[in-house]
């Protein structure tokens, strides 16, 4: 095995594209090194992307936040502007692991690990976040929900690296929220989770909505029908009841030791109601 | 050995070592540099016994490669006492009997040091939340929380 720490993204893409054996990108390592330790993966080449300057920064343009692929989640939580604009995304990212894991783990690693239970992904999907991808054939930008295609599998082509995640700047009266159900409050994997992102008009009526569910299907679910229920409402009780019903119905979860299908469906609806209310309150304050 | 030559700073001292590309920082600290205060509980990021501070971030050294230490600053429990004078956290862990078998203790001390550096006056909830990545099978955590609270007030000069 070799370990290389390139200082430019072009070099990293070149190394990845030309690697003869199995090559792996190393960001925070909180999935990769665990899988190596377990013997599930034996890469011939590890490409550490943390020395590539641009990947380690959060920058802002007029219309979006650019979160470099090597930015650890702890830094997301320390960024006041991002926390203000996207509290739900930050809350998802901050739920990953412990203090120790937070100092290393990245949202891009969370996305590329492609676990259906990944905590930052539902909020990113609800936020309409985009992934900027660099590969041997050039750059492309896709919606984050297009990255994971099955548990442990992504749509990235050989040699492709995610460079950054883009989050739009917010119109007034916008808010998002994320919650997961876990038996413990800390250091646990989501049994099921939900994220809602709303923009209201000046009268407090929902104008735009996106709803995403985690650990409810092989990949994160974007539930358009649920969003349509929220649009045009003031997130009143009857809207919430219908939202819960649709979210429960949209789930295609598995039965396992952490939760049955029935339990996951029920709780997906309950969480969707709670996060819709939180997102609505947050949107109303801005 | 065809290893990677790494130059780093550990507890303020310059250190150099050779390591294999798949060797973790935990293995390097213990087996190549003899820093046995860094413990291996799980090797998968769950228990915090291997905690060290890398630059200004608390991390599990079992989930860092040795090669990643190049040019970085590492703090381990060995750097906490000044000669014979224990760090207030170490002193308070003793006074409050915040350890039994002791395998988790170096990780808790380093994690608590990092916590107090960023938040000198934490609430009990903040302490429990901040130390949630460190597991202890013996103490039941209460004594650890009291020791950290007491050390925090000593360190604030209160
Ligand atoms: C103790 C512990 C607790 C955890 N708790 C949680 C939790 O509560 N919730 C949760 O969702 N997850 C949890 N995780 C899983 C893990 O921490 C997250 O998935 C994390 O976000 C992964 O990020 P990373 O930067 O460490 O990824 P890495 O391990 O560095 O990479 C993960 C995968 O993505 C690939 N990759 C990384 N960056 C790129 C890139 N830029 N382009 C292309 N591919 C890339 C890697 O090659 C690898 O296959 C936990 C892990 C541990 C060890
Ligand atoms: S040994 Fe590193 S977290 Fe348990
Ligand atoms: S004192 Fe034994 S594990 Fe904590």
Of the candidate ranges A27-31, A190-194, A273-277, the one whose mean pLDDT is the lowest:
A190-194
Handedness of CA A258, A261, A262, A264 (dihedral sign): positive
- Torsions phi, psi of A15, nearest 5? -60, -45
| Chain B residues lying within 8 Å of A29, measured CB to CB | 63-65
pLDDT at position A183 is: 84
DSSP A89-152: HHHHHHTSS-HHHHTT--HHHHHHHT-TT-SSHHHHHHHT-EEEEEETTEEEEEEGGGSEEETT
CA of B140 to the centre of ligand 3 (A): 9
- From residue A98, alpha-carbon distances to A101, B24, B49, B58 in Å are 5, 19, 13, 10
Tokens of B9: 């700073």
Nearest CB to A98; choose among B24, B43, B48: B48
Of B73, B91, B71, B72, which Cα lies nearest the Cα of B81?
A: B91
Crossing angle of helices B105-118 and B88-95, rounded to 10°:
130
pLDDT digit string (tens) for A211-261? 999 999 999 999 999 999 999 999 999 999 999 999 999 999 889 888 899
Q: Give dist(CA A67, CA A164) in Å, integer.
A: 5
CA of B136 to the centre of ligand 2 (A): 12
pLDDT digit string (tens) for A41-52? 999 999 999 999
Query: From first to last of its 158 residues, what are the pLDDT tens digits of chain B?
Result: 569 999 999 999 999 999 999 999 999 999 999 999 999 999 999 999 999 999 999 999 999 999 999 999 999 999 999 999 999 999 999 999 999 999 999 999 999 999 999 999 999 999 999 999 999 999 999 999 999 999 999 999 96
| DSSP state at residue B45 | S
Find residue A212's DSSP bridge partners: A195, A222
Beta strands in B20-154 (DSSP E): 51-54, 57-60, 73-75
Domains of chain B listed by start with CATH number = 4-76 (3.10.20.30), 88-156 (1.10.150.120)
pLDDT digit string (tens) for A244-257? 999 999 999 889 88
- From residue A269, alpha-carbon distances to A15, A87, A236, B42 in Å are 45, 21, 15, 36
**Looking at ligand 2, which residue's alpha carbon is closest to its atom 3?**
B45
Q: Give dist(CA B93, CA B108) in Å, integer.
A: 10
Domains of chain A listed by start with CATH number = 2-49+56-168 (3.30.465.10), 174-284 (3.30.390.50)
pLDDT at position B1 is: 54
Is the Cβ pair B67, A3 closer than 8 Å? yes
Tokens of A198: 């709303």
- Who contacts A138 (Cβ-Cβ below 8 Å, separation ≥6)? none
Tokens of B49: 């016994």
Q: Is residue B144 within 6 Å of ligand 2 at its C-beta?
A: no
Beta strands A64-68; A58-60: pairing state? antiparallel
Confidence band for A189, pLDDT divided at 50, 70 and 90:
confident
Chain A positions with Cβ closer than 8 Å to B:
1-3, 5, 26, 28-30, 33-34, 36-38, 46, 48, 50, 72, 74, 97-101, 103-104, 185-187
Give the chain B residue whose CA is nearest to the CA of A34.
Answer: B44
pTM: 0.96
């Amino acid at each position: 095995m070799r370990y290389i720490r390139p200082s430019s993204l072009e070099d990293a893409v070149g190394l990845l594209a030309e690697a003869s054996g199995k090559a792996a990108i190393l960001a925070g390592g909180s999935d990769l090194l665990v899988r190596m330790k377990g013997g599930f993966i034996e890469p011939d080449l590890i490409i550490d992307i943390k020395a590539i300057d641009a990947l380690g920064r959060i920058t802002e343009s007029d219309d979006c936040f650019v979160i470099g692929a090597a930015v650890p989640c702890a830094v997301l939580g320390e960024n006041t502007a991002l926390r203000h604009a996207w509290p739900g995304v930050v809350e998802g990212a901050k739920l990953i692991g412990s203090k120790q894991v937070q100092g290393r783990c990245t949202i891009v690693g969370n996305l590329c690990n492609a676990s259906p239970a990944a905590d930052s992904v539902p909020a990113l999907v609800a936020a309409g976040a985009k992934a900027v991808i660099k590969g041997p054939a050039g750059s492309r930008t896709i919606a984050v929900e297009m990255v994971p295609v099955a548990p442990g599998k992504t749509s990235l082509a050989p040699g492709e690296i995610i460079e950054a995640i883009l989050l739009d700047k917010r119109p007034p009266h916008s808010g998002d929220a994320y919650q997961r159900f876990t038996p413990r409050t800390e250091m646990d994997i989501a049994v099921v989770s939900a994220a809602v992102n709303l923009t209201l008009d000046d009268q407090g009526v929902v104008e735009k909505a996106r709803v995403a569910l985690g650990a409810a299907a092989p990949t994160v679910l974007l539930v358009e029908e649920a969003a349509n229920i929220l649009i045009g409402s003031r997130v009143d009780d009857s809207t919430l009841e219908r939202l819960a019903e649709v979210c429960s119905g949209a789930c295609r979860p598995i039965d396992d030791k952490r939760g049955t299908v029935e339990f996951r469906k029920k709780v997906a609806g309950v969480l969707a109601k709670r996060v819709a209310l939180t997102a609505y309150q947050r949107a109303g304050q801005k | 050995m065809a290893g990677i030559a790494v130059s780093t700073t550990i507890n303020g001292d310059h250190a150099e070592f050779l390591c294999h590309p798949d060797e973790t920082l935990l293995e390097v600290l213990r087996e190549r540099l003899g820093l046995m205060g860094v413990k291996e509980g799980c090797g998968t990021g769950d228990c915090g016994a291997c905690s060290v501070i890398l630059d200004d971030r608390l991390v599990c050294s079992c989930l860092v490669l040795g090669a990643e230490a190049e040019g970085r600053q590492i703090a381990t429990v060995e750097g906490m006492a000044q000669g014979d004078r224990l760090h207030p956290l170490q002193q308070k862990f003793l006074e409050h009997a915040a350890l039994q078998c002791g395998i988790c203790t170096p990780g808790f001390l380093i994690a608590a040091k990092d916590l107090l550096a960023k938040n000198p006056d934490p609430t009990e909830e903040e302490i429990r939340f901040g130390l949630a990545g460190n597991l202890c099978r013996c103490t039941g955590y209460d004594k650890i929380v009291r020791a950290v609270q007491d050390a925090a007030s000593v360190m604030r000069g209160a």
